[in-house]
Amino acid sequence: MQSSLINADSVLAIEIGTVNTRVILFDVVEGRYRFLGQGLVPTTLGAPGNDVSAGVKAALDQLHDITGRVLFNSEGQLVIPSQPNGSGVDACVATLSAGPPLNVVAIGLLEDVSAESAKNLASTTYAQVVDTMSLNDRRDTVSRLDNILKIHPDLIIVAGGIENGASQGVIELLEAVGLACYLMPKEQRPEVLYAGNSALVKEVQSSIGTLVNLHVAPNVRPSYESEQLTPSQPALAQIFRLVRSRQMRGVQEVDEWTGNHLMPAATAFGRTIRFISKEYAHTQKGVLGVDVGASATTVASAFDGDLRLSIRPGLGLGENLPQILDLCNLGDITRWVPVDVSDNYVRDYIYNKSIYPTSLPIGPEELATEQAIACQAMHLAIKHAIKSYPPNLPGSIAGLLPWFEPIIVAGGVLTKAPANNQTVMMILNGLQPTGVTTIALDRNNLAASLGATAGVTPLMTVQSLDTTNFVNLCTIITAIGTAPTSTPILRVRLTSEDGVSSEQEVLQGTLSVIKLPLGQVGSLHLTPLHRYDVGMGGLGRGGTVKVIGGVLGVIIDARGRPLHIPAEPTQRRDLLNSWLSAISPGKY
Give me the phi and psi of 39, to 5 degrees please.
-120, 140
Respond yes or no on whether the N-terminal peptide bond of residue 528 is cis (omega within 30° of 0).
Answer: no
Q: What is the pLDDT of residues 450-463, one digit of tens each?
A: 999 988 888 887 77
Q: Is the pLDDT of residue 17 over 80?
A: yes
Contacts of 361 (CB under 8 A, 6+ apart): 367, 369, 370
Q: What is the pLDDT of residues 377-420, one digit of tens each?
A: 999 999 999 988 988 888 888 788 999 999 999 999 999 999 99
Question: Average of pLDDT values for 161-181?
Answer: 82
In angstroms, the CA 312 to CA 314 distance is 5
Q: Is the pLDDT of residue 251 over 80?
A: yes
Treating both helix axes as pointing N-terminal to C-terminal, what angle do 364-386 and 420-431 enclose, rounded to 10 degrees?
A: 40
Cα–Cα distances in angstroms (integers) from residue 196 to residues 14, 67, 136, in the given order: 34, 50, 17
Q: Is the pLDDT of residue 209 over 90?
A: no
Give me the phi and psi of 267, to 5 degrees please.
-65, -45
Task: Give the pLDDT score at 163.
Answer: 80
For residues 101, 106, 112, 117, the Cα torsion angle rounded to the nearest 10 degrees is -70
Candidates 481, 488, 478, 489; CA nearest to 539 is 481
* β-pairing verdict for 511-514 and 554-557: antiparallel
Candidates 269, 280, 555; CA nearest to 411 is 269
Task: Give the pLDDT score at 467.
Answer: 66
Task: Give the pLDDT score at 293.
Answer: 94
pLDDT band at 210 (very low <50, low <70, confident <90, very high): confident
* β-pairing verdict for 521-528 and 543-548: antiparallel
The per-residue b/e assignment along 210-241, b for 16 or more CB within 10 angstroms, e otherwise, is: ebbbbbbbbbbbbeeeebebbebbebbbbbbb
Task: Give the pLDDT score at 4.
Answer: 41
Cα–Cα distances in angstroms (integers) from residue 236 to residues 97, 216, 242, 271, 323, in the given order: 14, 10, 10, 15, 24
For residues 94, 99, 101, 102, the Cα torsion angle rounded to the nearest 10 degrees is -80
Cα four-point dihedral sign 374, 98, 254, 119: positive
Common-topology check for domains 11-98+249-261 and 102-247 = no
Candidates 530, 577, 256, 210; CA nearest to 421 is 577
In angstroms, the CA 70 to CA 87 distance is 5
In angstroms, the CA 153 to CA 118 distance is 15
In angstroms, the CA 365 to CA 222 distance is 51
- Domain-wise residue ranges, the chain: 11-98+249-261, 102-247, 267-587
97: left (phi over 0), alpha (psi -120 to 50) or beta: alpha
Question: Average of pLDDT values for 55-63?
Answer: 94
In angstroms, the CA 256 to CA 53 distance is 12
Task: Give the pLDDT score at 1.
Answer: 38
- Tell me which long-range contacts 485-489 makes (C-beta under 8 A, separation of at least 24): 485/509, 486/510, 487/530, 488/529, 489/528, 489/529, 489/530, 489/532, 489/558
Q: How many other CB atoms are there within 10 angstroms of residue 150's CB atom?
A: 11
Question: Average of pLDDT values for 579-585?
Answer: 89
Domain 102-247 has CATH 2.120.10.30: no
Q: What is the pLDDT of residues 77-124, one digit of tens each?
A: 888 888 888 888 899 999 999 999 999 999 988 888 889 999 999 999
Q: What is the pLDDT of residues 282-319, one digit of tens each?
A: 878 999 999 999 999 999 999 988 999 999 998 999 99
Cα four-point dihedral sign 223, 240, 316, 466: positive
In angstroms, the CA 390 to CA 285 distance is 12
Determine what percent of the chain is predicted with pLDDT higher than 70. 98
Q: What average pLDDT is seen over the chain?
A: 90
pLDDT band at 155 (very low <50, low <70, confident <90, very high): very high
DSSP element (H, E) containing 278: helix 265-279
Contacts of 587 (CB under 8 A, 6+ apart): 513, 581
Task: Among 3.20.20.10, 1.10.230.10, 1.10.10.350, 3.30.420.40, name the CATH number for the domain at 11-98+249-261.
Answer: 3.30.420.40
Cα–Cα distances in angstroms (integers) from residue 121 to residues 256, 377, 500, in the given order: 27, 21, 52
In angstroms, the CA 181 to CA 202 distance is 19
Q: For the ranges 358-367, 431-440, 492-501, which has the lowest average pLDDT?
A: 492-501
pTM, to two decimals:
0.92
Please give the angle made by the CA atoms of 234, 235 and 236, to the nearest 5 degrees. 90
* β-pairing verdict for 91-96 and 306-312: unpaired
Q: Is the pLDDT of residue 153 over 90?
A: yes
Q: How far apart are the first and last CA of the chain?
A: 52
Contacts of 59 (CB under 8 A, 6+ apart): 14, 21, 22, 23, 38, 39, 40, 41
Q: For the ranges 145-149, 256-260, 279-283, 421-425, which has the lowest average pLDDT?
A: 279-283
Candidates 197, 204, 405, 164; CA nearest to 303 is 405
Cα–Cα distances in angstroms (integers) from residue 350 to residues 159, 256, 325, 338, 387, in the given order: 36, 37, 9, 17, 27
Please give the angle made by the CA atoms of 74, 79 and 80, to the nearest 5 degrees. 160
